[in-house]
Amino acid sequence: TPTALMAISAAYLLGAVPFGLVIARLWGVGDIRTQGSGNIGATNVLRTAGKIPGLLTLVLDIGKGAMATAAGIAMFGWQSPITAAMALLSFMGHLYPVYLGFKGGKGVATGLGVFLMLTPVVGLLAVGSWVVGALLFRISSLAALIAFAMMPLYQYLYGTPAALVVAAIVVPMVFWKHRQNIQRILQGTEPRIGKKG
């Protein structure tokens, strides 16, 4: 239906808003894509601009995934494939934003926002896994990879079939977007949280 198509497009356009890029620029650090890891996510904003802008980016990137998903739930219901598509497209928007020539972020915060809304128990488990991973290893990307690696199991145990399908697409994409991080982790050169990249 036209309403569904419009809602899915809006979810993509919201997900594509590069809050990290905007906030880093407002904070006077210039184009974040040329600094640190070059990523537009909260980790790199923290690394290059500081704690407050990093936190703002985290909240807004989680928020856009959560908002797009919440809108889907309100309009089409919890288990609707249209809601799943809106959740997925907001995530894809962050990864492949039309505003930035389709070169976007890695989807950790936006993905968490999606799952926090779609399946709150799983979302919280994933956030908890990120925190445990971050405390253990002090590496943001590794914490994210641990959290998203656990996601299919969490969805299987506590989620819904629709969210499991979303996870089956989101998780490989998060890993794909972290391929350079994975290389650096294996080489032992991935920067730790709190250190400059």
The verdict on 39 binding ligand G3P (CB under 6 A) reads: yes
Instruction: Among 67, 86, 108, 163, indicate the residue that binds ligand G3P (CB under 6 A).
Output: 108
CA distance linking residue 155 with residue 80, whole number of Å: 16
Candidate segments 36-44, 65-73, 82-90, 146-154, binder of ligand G3P by CB under 6 A: 36-44
Residue 108 CB, nearest distance to ligand G3P (Å)? 4
Report whether 131 contacts 55 (CB < 8 A).
no
Measuring CA to CA, which residue among 43, 17, 14, 44 is closest to residue 30? Answer: 44
Judged by CB under 6 A, the chain residues 72 through 91 that form the site for ligand G3P are none
Give the x/- contact pattern for ligand G3P in 162-181, rule: CB under 6 A: -------------------x
Candidate segments 3-11, 35-43, 71-79, 80-88, binder of ligand G3P by CB under 6 A: 35-43
Pick between residue 160 and residue 180 the one whose CB is nearest to ligand G3P: 180
Question: How many residues form the binding site for ligand G3P (CB under 6 A)?
Answer: 12
Pick between residue 39 and residue 90 the one whose CB is nearest to ligand G3P: 39
Q: What is the DSSP letter of 97?
A: -
Q: At what angle do helices 2-15 and 51-76 cross, to 10 degrees?
A: 170
Report whether 32 contacts 82 (CB < 8 A).
no
Residue 141 CB, nearest distance to ligand G3P (Å)? 4
CA distance linking residue 42 with residue 54, whole number of Å: 5
Instruction: Among 35, 43, 83, 129, indicate the residue that binds ligand G3P (CB under 6 A).
Output: 43
Structure tokens at 109: 């915060």
Judged by CB under 6 A, the chain residues 126 through 155 that form the site for ligand G3P are 140-141, 144
- For the chain, the first-to-last Cα distance in angstroms comes to 46
Instruction: Among 18, 41, 93, 123, indicate the residue that binds ligand G3P (CB under 6 A).
Output: 41
Query: Which residues have CB under 8 Å from 130's CB, separation 6+?
Result: 108, 112, 143, 144, 146, 147
Q: What is the DSSP letter of 195?
A: S
Residues binding ligand G3P (CB under 6 A): 36-37, 39, 41, 43-44, 106, 108, 140-141, 144, 181
